[in-house]
Structure formats: structure tokens, C-alpha cells
Amino acid sequence: MTARKIIIDTDPGQDDAVAVLLALGSPELEVLGITAVAGNVPLPLTTKNALIVCELAGRTDVKVFAGCEAPLSRKLVTAEHVHGKTGLDGPQLPTPKMALQDGHAVDFIIETLRAEPAGTVTLCPLGPLTNIATAFSRAPDIISRVQEIVLMGGAYFQVGNITPAAEFNIYVDPEAADIVFKSGIRIVVMPLDVTHKALTTRPRVEAFRALGTEPGRMVAEWTDFFERFDKEKYGSEGAPLHDPCVIAYLLKPELFEGREVNVMVETNSELTLGMTVADWWRVTDRAPNALFMGDVNADGFFALLTDRIGRL
């Protein structure tokens, strides 16, 4: 089996951390590098958190790069109200010893896509799309070399979580999202419509803890913390594990169901900034540019997560 090559672009975030662990616990995937971006918390913290997660997985060999510290043309909006002030609140966090790579994340993305055979690298964005859009704008030749983009962002039926109309990752950098959705690359989207069905429950969190390993304990403590926001705000049973849906799709696409639709991003209206206007009902003749997911087999998803985190 040849492992599928991926670059994870991320703003950890407890759910980002779980996504990275899922990838590192899965032999079907080769993580070429992790590129940090500003999002849930500012860039110095998302970068540090990416290092913490690699060390937790015992993978100090993974290349971690710092990327863009602010959206393309807007002021950064962060989400400490969800993730806490470190971005990974919950357990006591170690100070990472592992070194950050020299060089900028955007250069790494460009150089990797140029160096690897065309059509063999998948991009997995788990945060605002600033690094990816910057790479595409600076080096348009790499666009046709991307195998696929599988990203967490947007919403249709669930509409918004940071404003009434927009999901956080797209809202933070709508201009970047616009560039990515117009790139012509095959895009698989994990919107809130899916991730709000991938909810932690007591038995699911206890299954992580019962692994009896350090990654299992950390994931349980992260999800314990992360849950409190959604339980209070939405009255839901637990927290949505948004970002791991991206990695789970690469491993078991049959867990997800969606539609090929056209998705456009609102970049002008103050009221609906960052809205993903998905033509779910095909009411326009705009050509589909994304596989927009709508459903997940949550039991299968959590079984996969627990199994792979247990391998670390």
C-alpha cells in the first residue's frame, strides 16, 4: 500500500489536535508537513500547539511550519471563547522541545507541490484558508498539481457558528476562501451540517480515556473542555469534532454522504460575510465545484477515531 501524501494546514484548536492525531495514527496517510495558520488563536500559539500535538504522537520527525499571521485583507478574528486562551485548554500542556522548521509555511506548500509528482498531494485545511490562498496567488502553477482539497469549513442547513450566517474558518478569511473555491481544484467540504452530527457523548469520550495511553487521556481532556461551550450554547449532548471529519474522509469516505454542488463565498455583505452559498437544491446553472457533505455515520467515525488514536 502506498500511503496518500497530505499536507495538514491547521490552527489548533482541540478538534484540530484530534485531527492531526488521527492522521498520525493512520498508516494509509503520509503527513508531508503541518502548516500552522492564525485562526482559533494567534499564530505563535497555533504553531506551538502543532508542535505539542506531534510530540504527543511521538512524531518529532514531522515537519511543522509557521504560516500567515493574519487574513489576506482583514483583521484576525479568534475563538478563545470556544478553545480557551491557549487554543488547547483542558489538560496541562507541555512546553514543546521539538524544533519548528525554518522557512514559511507558504513556501513549504509551494515547494512541496512543485517537487512531488503532479496529482499526488492532497491539501487538508482545518482553519482559515490564508496559507493555501497565498500559495495559490503567489504560485498559480501549483494549482493544477494538487490532487484534491478536503477541508473543514462552511455550512448550509446549519448556517453559522461565528455569525448567524457564517462558519468560523470561512468567516475569518472570506477572500482566501473565495480564491480556493474558485481554484478549479476538486474540493471536498466538511461543513457544520456534517460536523454537528459528529458529537462527543460520554461513552465516546470515555472510550478515548479507556485507551489508557497519553494521547487517549489528552484527547479525553480536550474534548471534556471543548464540550462545555456547545453544551451551554446549543444544549447539545457534546461537542462537534469538526476537523477530524476531514481526515476520516480520507480514510473511510463511505462514512460520509454529500452532493456535488456549486459553492460561492460571500465577500462583500457585512450581514452575511463569509457565508458559503451552496447550491444544494441546484436552483442555478452554476457548475458544481465541490462535494459538499451533509451526513456522517457518527458511530463509525468515533470507532475509527478511537482505533487510530489507540495506535499512537
Which residues are catalytically annotated?
Answer: 242
Q: Which is nearer to Ca ion, 13 or 240 (CB)?
A: 13
H-type helices in the chain, by residue range?
14-24, 43-56, 80-83, 105-115, 130-138, 168-172, 174-181, 192-195, 202-209, 214-234, 244-251, 298-310
Least distance to ligand BDR, CB of residue 173, Å: 12
Report the residue number, 88 or 113, with the smaller CB distance to ligand BDR. Answer: 88
The three-class DSSP label of residue 310 is: helix
Q: Smallest gap, in angstroms, from Cβ of residue 31 to ligand BDR?
A: 18
What track of x and - describes contact with Ca ion for positions 241 through 260 (by CB under 5 A)?
--x-----------------
> Which one of the spans 51-59, 64-72, 121-129, 170-178 is the region binding Ca ion (CB under 5 A)?
121-129
Residue from 7, 45, 113, 126 binding Ca ion (CB under 5 A): 126
The one segment of 13-21, 63-71, 129-137, 171-179 that binds Ca ion by CB under 5 A: 13-21
Cross-strand pairs, 76: none
Closest contact distance (angstroms) between CB of 145 and ligand BDR is 25
How distant is the alpha carbon of residue 60 from its chain centre? 21
Distance of closest approach, residue 292 Cβ to ligand BDR, in angstroms: 15
Name the residue among 4, 5, 29 with its Cα closest to residue 304. 29
The Cα 162–Cα 176 span in angstroms is 17
Identified binder of Ca ion from the candidate list 127, 153, 240, 244, rule CB under 5 A: 127
Which of Ca ion, ligand BDR, none interacts with 168 (beta carbon under 5 to 8 A by kind)?
Answer: ligand BDR
* Residue corresponding to grid cell 481554484: 183
Buried b / exposed e over 213-239, threshold 16 CB at 10 Å, is bebbbbbbbbbbbbbeebeeeeeeebb
Q: Which residues bind Ca ion (CB under 5 A)?
A: 11, 13, 16, 126-127, 243
